[in-house]
Amino acid sequence: MQTIKAAVCHSFGAPLQIETIQIAPPGQGEVEVTLDAVAICHSDISFAEGAWGGHLPAVYGHEAAGRVSAIGPGVSDFVEGDDVIVTLIRACGSCPTCAAGQPVNCSTPHDGTKGPLTTADNMPLLQAMDCGAFAEKVVVSARQIVKIAPEIPKDVAALISCGVITGVGGAVNAARLRPGEDVVVIGAGGVGLNAIQGARIAGARRIVAVDMSEEKLAIARDFGATHGVLATEAKPWRAAVKALGGKGAEVVLITVGAIPAYDQAPRYLGVGGRAVMIGMPHSGQTARYEPVVMAALGQGLQGSKMGDVVIQRDVPWIVDLYQQGRLKLDELISGRWSLEQINDAIADTKTGSAKRNVILFNR
């Protein structure tokens, strides 16, 4: 067992504690990755606040990049020194959902409480989201990582593993956006900006960003939105419909977990439109809509988990778009912090003004 530093959650809602923990070597089909960077996702914050329950103590973090530093038995696609991104998508590759091209919904049971982490005194420590990347190293399934070119900056690469694939994939894979369709993106945070980019890349005609902040709407335009609407307006869907030439959108992408966004989403839809649920509300929260309207207008609601991605297929494509200058990633980074500053970085993220804050381990 190695010892590493990690940010550990001992109590929901309390600051994370930087401490020494133990990590086991990689087992069958696993790799060890020494991390260079991990970004802070709102899902990490929600988990650490107890929004979805779970075991404690735990190490969160799931949006990471680094270098392979050890190989377990049965792994042949990677070698030590490979530059990789690390995702939370642990897929068996052979169950019915994996075979159907939906690895994000892998149906093979996996007991996440029996991961590679323990406390310094050898007590159980949850590797949350099968990743536990608020730590210097992770041990994960080789199916959770994707090789990238060494010249890709690791702080940028880390963003791809969740926020980018969730937003871009939500537009391209889940919504199946077609060229010429009109889109409303609710929320202009990290995922929302990537949903806007995905809509632009897919050939959307008009892209209306909806957010609480004029500043974030201005940023949304930089990422490809053609119009911006303040969510604080009395009936913001009316302004969106006006921007769309007097009709509703073919696609609405809900990228935030706020219940008002879910309540209002169908109002932005046109006839036959579809709303894609990407943002994650807290457990127990419910939304309200009028089903007779949606039925009469042929509208639909669907969920999208992690952009419905197949990481081995979609990540190389996304990296290519970045290298070609067609996908903005550097501009998504709001701040760079050390592991010891993680609670400050989380507090900054919770203000809503940050796009993505990144923890650097070699800072």
Rounded-to-integer distance, Cα 144 and Cα 129, Å:
11
Q: Which CATH class is domain 176-303?
A: alpha beta
Q: To which H or E segment does residue 98 belong?
A: helix 96-99
Name the token pair of 362.
Answer: 């070699």
**pLDDT tens-digit profile of 186-198?**
999 999 999 999 9
- What does the pLDDT read at residue 360? 98
Give span(s): CATH 3.40.50.720, the chain.
Answer: 176-303
Q: What is the mean pLDDT of residues 112-118?
A: 89
- What does the pLDDT read at residue 109? 86
Architecture of domain 2-162+308-360 in this structure: Alpha-Beta Complex (3.90)
- What does the pLDDT read at residue 260? 95
Structure confidence at residue 1 as a pLDDT band (50, 70, 90):
confident
Percent of the chain at pLDDT exceeding 70: 100
* DSSP SS3 for 23: strand
Give span(s): CATH 3.90.180.10, the chain.
Answer: 2-162+308-360
- Of 20, 359, 54, 315, residue with least CA distance to 173: 315
Rounded-to-integer distance, Cα 82 and Cα 67, Å:
5
- Mean pLDDT lowest for which of 58-72, 123-137, 179-193, 344-358? 344-358
| pTM to 2 decimal places | 0.94
Say whether pLDDT at 363 is over 80: no
**pLDDT tens-digit profile of 305-347?**
999 999 999 999 999 999 999 999 999 999 999 999 999 999 9
- What does the pLDDT read at residue 194? 97
Total residues belonging to the chain: 363
- What does the pLDDT read at residue 353? 79
Rounded-to-integer distance, Cα 116 and Cα 135, Å:
12
Q: What is the mean pLDDT of residues 7-18?
A: 97
- What does the pLDDT read at residue 113? 79
Percent of the chain at pLDDT exceeding 90: 95
Handedness of CA 240, 202, 163, 359 (dihedral sign): negative
Say whether pLDDT at 208 is over 80: yes
Say whether pLDDT at 81 is over 90: yes
CB 235 within 8 A of CB 169: no
**pLDDT tens-digit profile of 212-264?**
999 999 999 999 999 999 999 999 999 999 999 999 999 999 999 999 999 99
Q: Helix axis angle, 214-222 relative to 190-202, nearest 10°?
A: 40
φ and ψ of 51, to 5 deg: -60, -30
Beta strand pairing status for 183-186 and 249-254?
parallel
- What does the pLDDT read at residue 112? 76
